[in-house]
Structure 1
Amino acid sequence: MGFDPRTAIVTGSDSGIGRATAVALARAGLDIGITWHRDEAGAERTAAEVREHGRRAEVARLDTTELQRVGAVVDDLAGRLGGVDVLVNSSGTGGSTAFLELSTDEWRQIVATDLDGAFVCLQAAARHMVDAGRGGRLIAVTSVHEHQPRVGSSAYDAAKHGLGGLIKTIALELGEHGITANSVAPGEIATPMTGQEDVDPHGEDRPGVPLGRPGDAREVAAVIAFLASAEAAYVTGASWVVDGGMLQMGPQAGSHLQSGEWRKA
């Protein structure tokens, strides 16, 4: 277990899964680079939580559609932290426009945010890891829609499928440097992106999900924290689904069934 992570950059860590991940990694003993797009106050709240765990927090604005600036933000945070051992790409956006009505502008906005920007972040961090020669962890937050499509999400589905494929290729190419690459594919998680900010998922009913509820961002963060650790040294090129069993139902059924009748033989 020679890998000893000390620093991590978590994009999109002003709220939701990114925020929970930043705090989980701080609890595990890492200093954290935090990025935000529109919610600077949220990023500062995340930073305060990281510091409550006795770890250093550095904050920067990141718009993953500004491809010429994305790498510089990662480089800046790595410089302020003294390196980057773990990169978690948690920035993302979605949409609900039918394929025939989807404009090119909306397509480009979603794909640029979820795939193009992720590529630049991952590549910039990987270059630091290779130069440092200590190994590393590259982790992308994708979605169950990395694996199964959903009506009205053609751009999102395409971007998340692409990001999952990118991670698998990175795993092949960077293994010789002791760098692992994995994706984490959440189902419905109670976050601002799903319109459930500050909602306790344990009180929400989801009849079409085998575990019967949405997930908590901290449950996703726990899986990410494992993948970022020394204990996950032999795990690479995998996609870790965290969805309460939704994919076993098919995500369309899992989120839209209104009763538990399907449970009966």
Structure 2
Amino acid sequence: MKKLRLIPAAAVLAVPVALGLLAAAPAVSPGQDIREVAQDPVWPMPSPNEWYWHRPDDRLTQAQVDAALSGVKSGFFWSVTNDWKGPLVKAAANKRAVEFSYTAGRELKLARVSPKLLASLRLYYAASQPQGQKWLVTVNLTTQSVIQVYFESETLARAFIDAAASAANLAGITLEEKLGRGFAVSDLTPVQAQALGKSRVDSALVSMLAFGGPAEMAGLRLFDLITEVDGVKVRNADHLVTILDAAPPGAELRLTCLERVEAADGEGAARVWKPRTVVWRMPLRP
């Protein structure tokens, strides 16, 4: 599978407010520019993990789920909340449970999670991971717990997401990604607001962006500052979510943004913020 451009995404355990988007034109600055921003003390990148878009195929039958997971024979499994940690040797899923067999020392252990607790499954490339298992799937639960599963290949990681999503679907649960999520926002910090010449913190900052996702394809960029939606001024990240939640599926919205770009006559890492508008449609519900 062809790899997309790599930029760091936000830390998987400190998730900002997630949103959904649908489609139109490509985005994102070249990788070198992103890495320069990563060392900026005012606009730091939150994590070395790179978020990749994967809308789960949750239509697999139980037999297809079993076949998809038959190739999972190695990896690494970790959940801080439940004190689960060790090499993964097998994974299984059905409408009653998503199961992880892993080793702790010389002991083989089994961890089970109800598919009804699954909220979302996200795919990351963990570039800083020292071993070969760099493809990370975060299993985000409705209890706010997060399970991290590392795989040797992107293919296995994507197959696991489809299998777990299908198990949830067999249990009557539709995951968040089916609504078209592909970016997340957070509030400006006081220092960031001051850098923009603002006397108060407002608007919503695009702090996560999935490669190949609907948000990127619609034209949003990492660090875009969303100031208005259809002329309504955005007070903060939660306010933006409220506005979008109120829009009906399929509605076309105009997002007024400020884009952080390199100054045409600037020196070194000088940046300016340019206004622009992103037009997109609210995702249709499955």
- Interval of TM-score (by shorter of Structure 1 and Structure 2): under 0.3
- The one of the two structures with greater contact order (alpha-carbon pairs below 8 A, sep at least 6) is 2
Greater Rg, structure 1 or structure 2? 2
TM-score (norm 1): 0.26
Higher helix share: 1
TM-score (norm 2): 0.24
